[in-house]
Amino acid sequence: MGNRAPLPGEFALIRKYFAPLAAGFSGALDLEDDACTYAPPAGHDLVLTADALVEDRHYLRSDPADLVARKMLRVNLSDLAAKGAKPVGYLMTTALGPDIDEAWIAKFSAGLAADQQEYGLSLMGGDTVATPGPTTLSLTALGIVPSGRALRRRGARPGDRLFVSGTIGDGILGLKVLKGQLFDLGASHRDALADRYHLPQPRLSLGAALLAGGRVTAAMDVSDGLVADAGHISESSHCGLIIHADRVPLSAGAEEALAGDLDLLPVLLSGGDDYELLFTAGAGFAAPDSVTEIGEVITGSGVRVLDRDGAEISMRSAGWQHF
Amino acid sequence: MGNRAPLPGEFALIRKYFAPLAAGFSGALDLEDDACTYAPPAGHDLVLTADALVEDRHYLRSDPADLVARKMLRVNLSDLAAKGAKPVGYLMTTALGPDIDEAWIAKFSAGLAADQQEYGLSLMGGDTVATPGPTTLSLTALGIVPSGRALRRRGARPGDRLFVSGTIGDGILGLKVLKGQLFDLGASHRDALADRYHLPQPRLSLGAALLAGGRVTAAMDVSDGLVADAGHISESSHCGLIIHADRVPLSAGAEEALAGDLDLLPVLLSGGDDYELLFTAGAGFAAPDSVTEIGEVITGSGVRVLDRDGAEISMRSAGWQHF
């Protein structure tokens, strides 16, 4: 187990670090039972989503533990946002590797506490074990939506318009910055991009507004990359999608990076970890300021990315491959 | 990544092996979205529980993959049983190690399919990633109970009687058999004990009956070991517990093992992985045939294990320590 000081036992860790995260949620039973209880309010469905994160694969061992915690939570909140859901709480299992010491856990739970407050949710339950391998985190997030109203991937129709929130490509550029690449970029751009990679901004308010407005026909969050995720909507909705590359919103840092290396364009469009909302909407949709129209839904299948002259741009990669 | 054939990509694995496990659950949206939806029936609370399993720590790499899957599911169903809950479904994240090939996944999902049918539940969602370390599985199980009626650990009162279902100690003896110990035992006993370790029998019907009967004051499942889990009830209920060792029900295999080595008694009473229900009940409780009265609740704190002469038995270990 390396040179670290021995960790407190499982029950001591739970009492000291995790039970306080569940104090605001009566159904968590102070984590003293092996299960928790919850009833969604009348007229609501639960929305559930789960993600696993592996050290040095989904985050870096050197990443600050509070940021790892917040990113894990926010990635799942982004999935809830894409459904138009309001977050309620989460269950978390942690398989802690040999390099984890109590300071790491203290910082990790401080990160969870900060984001619980920011997003109004609570730890509900979980499990803590040890592993000889890389630390592996798994989180199941719960949210609620008005009954039968959860946004889906499968409703896009030819003639609908395609929108995306925020800016695209910052996640992959942030990762490049953290890997020591893009050293020509200005320091403030580098910092901003690294922040985008470390700390996604789940678009919960936007998701709830899109659901309430009633004109959105398909929605998801951009986690695998814009083009790959557009492909998911295309496949689920049985229609084709056109993306106009010149309309895809870019941050100032991404603009500068692209100006220095035009070959970055397909990287931006196919890189993951943006956690913006990608959605289609029918007639009568009033787009809020935070979203940009980037394309349209057509009959057929697949995703075509066009330049400003209407010529197709070839994508080097259709998104993250996990294997 | 060793010598294995490359795995299909994440999406192909999900389509081929995991989506069929979700086919019976409309809210799982065929796993094509990143989230699923569910609404418990009117008048019911959700019960949620989560567990993590690490290869070669919670199960052996050489264990058949279908049994690993079924044990993972059943361990969580046992937590639901202890709440009196009826299972609904589960979310699962899998971090697959380098030694996992497609045959393993096929067998693993066949095990899940078998137990889904046996217990009437469905896969609802999840995530599949790769890890360079040991395979790590995390499961969040959902069940339902009549509103406000979930069994808890914290209601035991002095004067209540203490009961346990089935037989105790078979889990730890089964593990010893699988490790090549207890070679003096007869082959049929060895097989039966190994089966108990591999394939817990979650006491779902009993849990539901205990909830319906209304006399049970505290309940949990025996996963950390009888004495340690009695300690959890004692601590949560702020009372003491007496266990009469000679009343603790043992299987024929455990009786034979104990006859050959009397020092095994504390091991049986503190070994984990039995997945029986341990509970306290007040006046008027009619014990079903499947349970045995093993002790009583007293004022004070802690758990005392007494022999047939009323002398205290010292426990070598108060249960599994995960760290």
Q: Is the pLDDT of residue B166 over 90?
A: yes
Looking at residue A316, what is its pLDDT?
59
Average pLDDT over residues A194-204: 93
Looking at residue A320, what is its pLDDT?
39
pLDDT band at A319 (very low <50, low <70, confident <90, very high): very low
Q: B-chain residues within 8 Å CB-CB of A323?
A: 6-10, 130
- B245 touches B269 (CB < 8 A): yes
Nearest Cβ partner of B32 from A131, A132, A153?
A153
Q: pLDDT tens digits, residue range A170-190?
A: 999 999 998 899 989 999 999
Q: pLDDT tens digits, residue range B91-114?
A: 999 999 999 999 999 999 999 999
Burial of B284 (0-12, 13-18, 19+ CB in 10 A): exposed
Looking at residue B13, what is its pLDDT?
85
Find where tokens 């009568």 sit: A284
Q: Which residue of B has its CA nearest to A237?
A: B32
Average the pLDDT over each of A13-27, A272-286, B87-101, B282-296 and give the range with the smallest value: A13-27
- Interface contact flag, A232 B323, Cβ < 8 Å: no
* Disruptive mutation site among A138, A147, A278 for chain B (greatest number of B CBs within 10 Å): A138
Average pLDDT over residues B296-302: 97
- A228 touches A270 (CB < 8 A): yes
Q: A-chain residues within 8 Å CB-CB of B35?
A: 47-49, 79-80, 82-83, 85, 150
Chains A, B: CB contacts within 8 A come to: 230
**Contact status of B289 with chain A (Cβ, < 8 Å):** no
Q: What are the tokens at A250?
A: 């870019």
Looking at residue A221, what is its pLDDT?
96
pLDDT band at B25 (very low <50, low <70, confident <90, very high): confident
- A177 touches A193 (CB < 8 A): yes
Q: pLDDT tens digits, residue range B258-268?
A: 999 988 999 99
pLDDT band at B34 (very low <50, low <70, confident <90, very high): confident
**Contact status of B240 with chain A (Cβ, < 8 Å):** no
* Disruptive mutation site among A77, A121, A127, A151 for chain B (greatest number of B CBs within 10 Å): A127
- B319 touches B225 (CB < 8 A): yes
Average pLDDT over residues A44-60: 93
- Interface contact flag, A57 B7, Cβ < 8 Å: no
pLDDT band at A27 (very low <50, low <70, confident <90, very high): confident
Which domains, and CATH codes, for chain B? Answer: 10-146 (3.30.1330.10), 161-306 (3.90.650.10)
Q: A-chain residues within 8 Å CB-CB of B99?
A: none
Under DSSP, the state recorded for B285 is -
Looking at residue A231, what is its pLDDT?
95
Q: A-chain residues within 8 Å CB-CB of B50?
A: 91-93, 125-127, 138, 140
Q: What are the tokens at A272?
A: 């993951």
Q: Is the pLDDT of residue B253 over 90?
A: yes
Q: Is the pLDDT of residue B153 over 80?
A: yes
Looking at residue B10, what is its pLDDT?
77
Average pLDDT over residues B225-240: 96
pTM score of the predicted model: 0.91
Q: Is the pLDDT of residue A233 over 80?
A: yes
Residue % of chain B over a pLDDT of 70: 95
- B305 touches B265 (CB < 8 A): no
**Contact status of B99 with chain A (Cβ, < 8 Å):** no
Which residues, numbered 256 to 275 in chain B, qualify as contacts with chain A under a Cβ-Cβ cut-off of 8 Å?
none
Nearest Cβ partner of A127 from B35, B40, B50?
B50
Average the pLDDT over each of A99-103, A243-247, B22-26, B231-235 and give the range with the smallest value: B22-26
ipTM value, please give it.
0.89
Average the pLDDT over each of A240-254, A286-300, A307-321, B59-73 and give the range with the smallest value: A307-321
Q: pLDDT tens digits, residue range A262-296?
A: 889 999 999 989 999 999 999 999 999 999 999 99
B144: distance to nearest CA of chain A, Å? Answer: 9
Average pLDDT over residues B295-322: 82
Q: CB count, 10 Å around CB of A18?
A: 22
Question: Which of B148, B165, B281 is closest to B218 using CA atoms?
Answer: B281
Q: Is the pLDDT of residue A13 over 60?
A: yes
Q: A-chain residues within 8 Å CB-CB of B147?
A: 39
Looking at residue A179, what is its pLDDT?
87
Looking at residue B1, what is its pLDDT?
35
- Interface contact flag, A132 B134, Cβ < 8 Å: yes
- B57 touches B134 (CB < 8 A): yes
Looking at residue B59, what is its pLDDT?
86
Looking at residue B314, what is its pLDDT?
84
Phi and psi of B16, rounded to 5°?
-80, -40
Q: pLDDT tens digits, residue range B200-219?
A: 999 999 999 999 999 999 99
Average pLDDT over residues A186-213: 95
Q: pLDDT tens digits, residue range A61-81?
A: 888 999 999 999 999 999 999
C-alpha–C-alpha distance, residues A68 and A62, integer Å: 10
Looking at residue A4, what is its pLDDT?
55
* Disruptive mutation site among B10, B11, B34 for chain A (greatest number of A CBs within 10 Å): B34
